[in-house]
Structure formats: C-alpha cells, structure tokens
Amino acid sequence: MKRLLLLGSAVLGLLVLAAAFAAFKVSEFLHTPVSAGDTGMDFVIEAGASFRAVSDDLAEQGVISNSRAFRAYARWTGKASAVQAGDYHIRAGTTPVELLRQFTSGDVKLYSFTIIEGWNHWELLQALRDDDFIDSTLTDEDWPGLLDELGAIGAHPEGLFLPETYRFPRNTSDRDVLRQAYGLMQDVLAEEWQAKAEKLPIATPYEALVLASIIEKETARGDERPRISGVFTRRLEKRMRLQTDPTVIYGIGPDFDGNLTRRDLRTDTPYNTYTRGGLPPTPIAMPGRAAINAALHPADGEELYFVATGLGDGSHAFSVTKDEHDAAVAQYLRRLRQQRNQ
C-alpha cells in the first residue's frame, strides 16, 4: 500500500511538472515575437474564416510555431470568435498575444485614396472605379440618391467633395469614401465662410464654392489665386461677365476634345460665362481649401483681366484696361507661335 502511495505521488509529481513545463512553453510561445521579417508582413483574414483556419494559415506561412497553443489561448480568453476579417500588417516584434489583440480589435491595414484639386465629378467617379481597394457601387444615375442621403442641397455632385487623401480598410464602399469627403468639405466651407472678408458679391457658402472651383481651374499657383479671385470679384461687382474658359469647357462636358473654339465661346449653355452673366449654376470642379480661402479673401486692386503668359510656369499677366489685356493676349499668342516654330 505504501509503495502504491509513493508511486501515485511520483506520477502526480510528474504530471504537475509536465503541466508546469507545458504552461511555461505556452507562455514562452505567447510572448515570443512571431516571424514577420524585419519590416513586418501582410496577412489577410477572409470573411467567414474560422479561427482554426486562421491559426493553421499562420502556422503554414511560418508566422507562428504552434497553432494549437494559439487556438488554446484564444479559446481561454474568449476571443476565438471575435476575430475580424480584413487585411492586416503584422509588425516586426509582434507577439502572439499582441497578434490576437490586433485581429480582434480590427486594427487592419489602411489604404489611401486622393481626390485631386480640380477634378470634376466624372473624373472622381472613374478614379473610385479604378481603385482596387474600394468597393465600387455608384453610377452616374446614383448621384441624386447619394446626395439626398448626405443631405446636400440640390442633386448635382460637382464641387461637394474636398480634395484630400482619405484612408480606409480594403473593400470600403465608394459611398463611404465620398461620405467622408463630403463631411470634410462641409466643415472646411463653414470654417472659411465664417472668416470671410466683408462686402463680397457672393451671398452663400455654395456661391463661394462655385467661385472657388473656377479659381481652382484657372491656376495652380498659390500666389495667383487671390489675384484671380480679385479679378472675378470686381467683375461680379461691376456686373461684367466672367468670361472664363473653364466654365465653357465644363458646359461642353466629358466630350470636350481639348480644343476650345470661338464657336464654343458663342454657344450658349448654363455654364458659358461669355454668354451669361454672374456665376454658373454649380461648381465646375472640386476646389481645395486654398481656392476656397482665395474666393473669400480676394486681393485688392483694379485688375479686371488676366491671361496666361505662356512662360511655362503657369503664370498669368494681369491687366486693368482692355487695351492692356489685348496687348498681353497678343504677347501670349506670339510666345505660342515661337514655341511651335521651335
């Protein structure tokens, strides 16, 4: 009997030692960095994947050394069913404990999409469609419904989405990206409107957006935006037509072939500022914050005209009188002819 008790005690002791050793090895595994390379690695959890499949995939790729221990820890913590699908970037030095926390918190890899200053809504929609990480759902016919969801005034999308870089998980819908861009535009427009100059010939933030879009299309030079805004502001005050080519081009639409003719300038559309006074009915592009600021803070002066210099730096020549402007236009045309001859 005594021998049996000693044998039982020995077996129990061995079991305790084995359990302690197993616990030590599991703890060592959980707190030893996974194999993710010096710069980390990307790992995808597909929608609907079981935790067993995830842990086996990690083991097969050599990221973790013990899929059983990883599953046991996940079950013990109650997190096995909380893993979220998505693209993950496993950082160098990540331990299995931290990896499980990353998988269950949805700390997924983010992708970026940039709306470029001066894009129109056709270009924006095409760029969304071309992005591999955005779930494309919108067509041209869907704009009114989306704008209604956003609470936008009117059913035309032009100019309502702020040019900026937006970050999002893979398979984010185009609607969600645009929702971010619309909200940010509303915030920026409200902020800029609150700080606007006094006695402007524009009555609403939307009119400021329209004017800003024209400024955006006329120049990419930050030093010229306020001057161009000043020209347009004085023209509006004097009830002169804006006579700006980008509005005519916008009125022609996506079929514009790049060659603006005199016939185009004489063909009336709601956007032709050679044939119609005041601002066009909507923006003609997506203006950035700098263009919005310029629209609301026009430079002082007497200039009523401007034309490209043709110097290749995007600069313009500004004029007070029509005669001065005609001379600047002639100089621009001479430079164009010289460039063609060369």
Tell me the pLDDT tens digit for each residue of 247-285.
999 999 998 999 999 999 999 999 999 999 999 999 999
* Domain range list for the chain: 28-105, 110-189, 197-341
Task: Give DSSP secondary structure letters for 178-198.
Answer: HHHHHHHHHHHHHHHHHTPPS
Helix (H), strand (E) at residue 252: helix 245-252
Give the CATH number of domain 28-105. Answer: 3.30.1490.480
Neighbours of 29 (CB within 10 A): 19
Tell me the pLDDT tens digit for each residue of 311-334.
999 999 999 999 999 999 999 999
Contact of 121 with 139, CB cutoff 8 Å: no
Query: Rounded distance, CA 24 to CA 32, Å?
Result: 12
Q: What pTM did the predictor assign? A: 0.86
Tell me the pLDDT tens digit for each residue of 70-94.
999 999 999 999 999 999 999 999 9
The residue with greater pLDDT, 261 or 14, is 261
Query: Rounded distance, CA 70 to CA 42, Å?
Result: 19
